[in-house]
Structure 1
């Protein structure tokens, strides 16, 4: 059984930063690298899914 990511964000870069987006209620900023083979990465803190624009149609 898999659960959906709480939020999916389409990005133009293979390197992204995530801080939870909630200001003081977020989490420490982490830098994530999207593997070019799969086209997405999930933040280990908040579960946000970052999808590279080149893979947006394939993963929708």
Structure 2
């Protein structure tokens, strides 16, 4: 599980809080021909990761 800055203040994760979002962390956003990611899949590359670390 990856921590997200959602503003949540509780010490526990409730069932209603757990939303699954397909996420890929790779050096590139390019998807190979043989790959079929889910329609709602998101990706983070090196540039995005630097932005997230600053936040």
Is this a same-fold pair by TM over 0.5? Answer: no
Instruction: Provide the TM-score with structure 1 as the length reference.
Output: 0.35
Higher helix share: 2
Larger Rg belongs to: 2
Structure having the higher strand fraction is 1
